[in-house]
Amino acid sequence: MQEAPVPNSELPAIPSKRYFTIGEVSDLCCVKSHVLRYWEQEFPSLKPMKRRGNRRYYQREDVILIRQIRSLLYEQGYTISGARQQIMGGGEVDEMASGSSVLDDVALKKIVSDLEETLQALRV
């Protein structure tokens, strides 16, 4: 019997280092190595650097992308082709589902603006 996947919000924090081995990425994303290699074939934007003996080295952006793919497939119920369309077609991917704790400036400004409007409405 297969256990339920760990939600992205419960994944370990991504360490601040430049390169990660496939084993490290597997642990950080709770995805087996063979699944990562398969996703490389299915998602053109997932291209880890390959060095000595074809060893894969992933960068932080790759780990974030893998977490987005994982969320789309395991949490949001997308098929591989649907997830590929979301990733490639610029479809909105939930930033919080990626495990990223950093909001971009635009999103943060929108939240602050909405909160200020709510506060003004409550004061009236």
Structural domain that includes position 41: 8-123
**Angle subtended at Cα 98 by Cα 96 and Cα 101, rounded to the nearest 5 degrees:** 55
Half-sphere exposure of 115 (CA within 13 A, CB side): 6
- What pLDDT is attached to residue 90? 61
Instruction: Confirm whether 69 is domain-assigned.
Output: yes
Instruction: Confirm whether 21 is domain-assigned.
Output: yes
Instruction: Confirm whether 91 is domain-assigned.
Output: yes
d(CA 57, CA 20) in angstroms, rounded, equals 5
Joined together, the tokens standing for residue 45 give 């934007």
Q: Which residue in the block uniquely carries the two structure tokens 């597997």? A: 26
Q: What is the CATH number of the domain that holds 102?
A: 1.10.1660.10
Q: Do 49 and 20 touch, CB atoms closer than 8 A?
A: no
Instruction: Confirm whether 35 is domain-assigned.
Output: yes
Instruction: Confirm whether 3 is domain-assigned.
Output: no
d(CA 26, CA 119) in angstroms, rounded, equals 44
Question: What's the average model confidence in pLDDT over 53-63?
Answer: 93
Which amino acid belongs to residue 96?
M
Number of H helices and E strands in the chain, helices first, is 5, 3
pLDDT tens, position by position, 93-117: 444 444 344 456 677 777 888 888 8
Domain tally, the chain: 1
What is residue 47's DSSP assignment?
Answer: -
Instruction: Confirm whether 26 is domain-assigned.
Output: yes
pLDDT tens, position by position, 62-87: 999 999 999 999 999 999 999 999 98
Instruction: Confirm whether 68 is domain-assigned.
Output: yes
Instruction: Confirm whether 47 is domain-assigned.
Output: yes
